[in-house]
Amino acid sequence: MSVANADEARKALKLAQDYREKGSYSVALKWARKSSSLSPSSEATSLTASLEKEIASGATSTSIPSKDATSSATKATGAETHPSASGTHQRPGHGSSSAGETSGSSTKDGGDAKSRSFTPEQTKVVKRVIACKAHEYYSILAVERSCSEGEVRKAYRKLALALHPDKNGAPRADEAFKMVSKAFQVLSDNNLRAAYDSNPHQDPSSRGGGGGGGGPSMATRGFGGGHPGFHQSEVSPEDLFRAFFGGGGFDQFGGGGGGFGGGPVFTFGGPNGFRQFGGNQGMHARARDNRRESPPPNWVQMLPLLFLVFIGLLSWLPGMFSTPDPGYQWKSISPWTLHKQTSSINVDYWVNPREWQRHPIFESIPEGKRGMEQAGTYSNKLKRFESGIEQHYVSTLRQQCGNEREDRRDRIDRNRGLFGLGADWEKIAQIQNEKLPSCEKLRTLESKYSGSRNLYR
């Protein structure tokens, strides 16, 4: 059993316990079974047995409390259900005729007018999404068929924020929100996306097949091992939204949606996967809104910028009356053909011989030492000049090392799959064992010259 599976199993078990405390026994049972299938444990087995008994005894299963659940009766739009919403949970109260009548009467009274207000731009976004057919997932997200997973995430982030019913009161916004969620679930999963590309007229998550074997099937997206998995088609738009944006709804954007309550932080699907946070974020966000004050005048906001400009001028003025440093290169390129080496950490650089011999730095070197490659120990001006070269070199190495690490993280994330499904762990291990050239050079410098001003940190 891999360490990754054990970590995923612990996270799934934590989810099961949280859902059980909230009274959502069926969802808790799915996560408990998933934990057992990933890494069997006595705690997961005991929790599964307890949940099965509670469900069999007729214990009620409630949904996670949310802003939608408490106000859905007065917010129901009565809009027809789009075919793309199949396989997703309906938000409580939406689609009910009685709730629609209640919504109509309360809207006339003005009690819900503020929460259901919308702008022409919001209506335009809703109409564009609704105009797409049920399975035109690329058109729904407004991305090209050749788009990357990052572009799919970016498109979903933008549309989900624009269409979430808590923020968009335009007619059929709820339906458009479900279409966007469905499109993201398909296009962000490599297997579902490949199946969809081969037959774009059929929903890939609704095809026949079982999910209890050694790997996930197209229909159930199960987790194998003989136990029912957490099916991707069962992820509701609201759950997907909370998972994608950190579990806090609109609280992290200054809005009023409810979070998941207290508890630790846990993730699924790698460092860029879905992340859920504990804590009373909604209450803190509303408290911050209540403390907001009117913005200061424009001229006050400009003061920091003017101060920075003034400081920049002060640092630039001395350079007007001094000779600029000579140019240099990291390798021999005409006319930079004269090889030099810094006297502190032995960084090679090349200068223009004609420019160098006329420069005050060259004149500051004792005549008997001017031909030496490492003459910095005999001239303070040359030592300051070479110190700048060394800082530039180390800074360049650090930047290149950071780029190499980021590229490695991106390649690892592309091989993790969604929620850890379809992950190529062999490829991930190969990427993790690759050497990073710039990082290796930087590590060598740090170990060899650790006393050189802490290597210009």
**Residue-wise pLDDT tens digits, 331-352:** 999 999 999 888 888 889 999 9
To the nearest whole number, what is the mean pLDDT of the chain?
73
Query: What are 295-306's pLDDT values in tens digits?
Result: 677 878 888 888
Q: How far apart are CA 400 and CA 117, in angstroms?
A: 49
Task: Classify strands 328-329 and 348-351 as parallel, antiparallel or unpaired.
Answer: antiparallel
Q: Which residue has the higher pLDDT, 358 or 294?
A: 358
pLDDT, position 126: 93
In DSSP terms, 336 is beta-bridged to 333
Query: What are 210-264's pLDDT values in tens digits?
Result: 333 333 333 334 333 333 333 444 578 888 887 777 654 444 444 444 433 444 4
CB 189 within 8 A of CB 217: no
pLDDT, position 6: 82
- Give mean pLDDT, residues 116-127: 88
pLDDT, position 146: 92
The tokens for 333 are 């390129």
What one-letter code names the amino acid at 306? L
Split at pLDDT 50, 70, 90, the class of 69 is: very low
Q: Which residue has the higher pLDDT, 452 or 99?
A: 452
pLDDT, position 216: 38
Query: What are 306-318's pLDDT values in tens digits?
Result: 888 888 877 776 6
Split at pLDDT 50, 70, 90, the class of 131 is: very high
In percent, the amount of the chain with pLDDT more than 70 equals 66
Q: Is the pLDDT of residue 91 over 70?
A: no
Domain ranges of the chain: 1-63, 328-456
CB 230 within 8 A of CB 240: no
Give which of 243, 73, 91, 70 is closest to 175, Cα–Cα: 91
pLDDT, position 99: 37
Q: Is the pLDDT of residue 290 over 90?
A: no
Q: Which of 120-124, 163-167, 447-451 has the lowest mean pLDDT?
A: 447-451
> Cβ contacts of residue 436 below 8 Å, gap of 6+?
401, 404, 405, 408
Q: Is the pLDDT of residue 9 over 50?
A: yes
What one-letter code names the amino acid at 371? G
pTM over 0.75: no
Q: How far apart are CA 94 and CA 76, in angstroms?
A: 5
pLDDT, position 253: 41
Tell how far CA 213 is from the center of its chain. Answer: 31
Name the helix (H) or strand (E) containing 180.
helix 173-187
Q: What number of CA atoms fall less than 13 Å from residue 193's CA on the CB side? A: 18
CA angle (13, 16, 22) in 5-degree steps: 145
